[in-house]
Amino acid sequence: MARVYGGMSSEQRVARRREQFLDAAVEVFGTVGWAGSTVADLCRAAKLSPRFFYDEFPSREELFLATTDRIAAQVEQVVRDALATGGGDVRAQARHVLSALADYFIDDPRTVRVALMESLATPEFREQRRVLLASFVELTAHLMCPGGADRRSRLSAGLIVGGVAEVLIAGATANESRSRQDDLGSLVVHRSGADELVEHLTELFTAVARNFPAATPPTQPPGTGMNAL
């Protein structure tokens, strides 16, 4: 039988240490950045020794990939919850999903920096980023054209997703760039601006979706969802 310390089994302690390193990675990679960080920084943020780091992750790169993986899984759950509780037509579904995603990314802009900015640092990271964005495109196309996404709907979805990614990046770096009130980044720094952005994106999405066959809105993301990472 596994020995219990502090009310936790060895498996639970390992799982907790992994979460500590993942939390630390969001903090370190999302503030200091990939290039400026070290294993020592990550261990310090996690309040764990390097021995525990290497027990769990072969390298700093593996921790980064696992961190982006976790962000993708969290985003997928946000979308699933929004679709499950949203109801209504395509417009209503789009508003629920966009509002939920805005809450997730705006509440913690470090996730934007990790998933969309620091993920450009290496070829392996860029491939993971490409898969993440492709899954967003597939989801958006599926919402836009519930009867079956095609080349046109995927192209339209790609333009929307790419634009949203740039707006999120602008918001995440607004303080660094000393963004003015009328700059793109200010739209997602302030809650009122984010609400306005969600409404605008909902209108944009709905206008584009009118060009595609109408069907019953989905209640789940497509099968090739964000957990493809």
CATH number reported for the structural domain that contains residue 93 in this entry: 1.10.357
Q: Distance from CA of residue 64 to its chain's centroid?
A: 14
- Looking up residue 20, the CATH number of its domain turns out to be 1.10.10
Burial class of residue 2 in the structure, from the number of CB atoms within 10 Å of its CB (0-12 exposed, 13-18 middle, 19+ buried): exposed
Number of domains in the chain: 2
> 135 in helix, strand or coil?
helix
**pTM to 2 decimals?**
0.85
> Does 86 share its domain with 123?
yes
What does the alpha-carbon distance between residue 145 and residue 105 come to, in Å, rounded to a whole number?
25
Asked if 46 and 65 sit in the same domain, the reply is: no
Q: How many other C-beta atoms can be found within 10 angstroms of the C-beta atom of residue 199?
A: 13
Last residue of a domain, one of 57, 77, 94: 57
Residue 229's pLDDT is: 36
At residue 114, the pLDDT reads 97
**What's the pLDDT score for residue 121?**
96
Q: What domain range is 35 assigned to?
A: 10-57
* Residue 47 Cα distances to 2, 18, 36, 56, 169, angstroms: 24, 12, 19, 15, 29
Tell me: do 65 and 151 sit in the same domain: yes
Instruction: Please give the pLDDT value at position 85.
Output: 82
CB atoms within 10 A of CB 135: 23
DSSP single-letter state for residue 119: G
Q: Let me know whether 206 and 105 are in one domain.
A: yes
Note whether residue 103 is domain-resident: yes
Q: For the chain, 229 residues long, give each residue's pLDDT as a single digit of tens.
A: 456 556 778 889 999 999 999 999 999 999 999 999 999 999 999 999 999 999 999 999 999 999 999 999 999 999 989 988 867 788 888 899 999 998 898 889 999 999 999 999 999 999 999 999 999 899 888 888 877 788 999 999 999 999 999 988 988 887 665 555 556 666 666 656 678 888 989 999 999 988 887 645 555 665 544 444 3
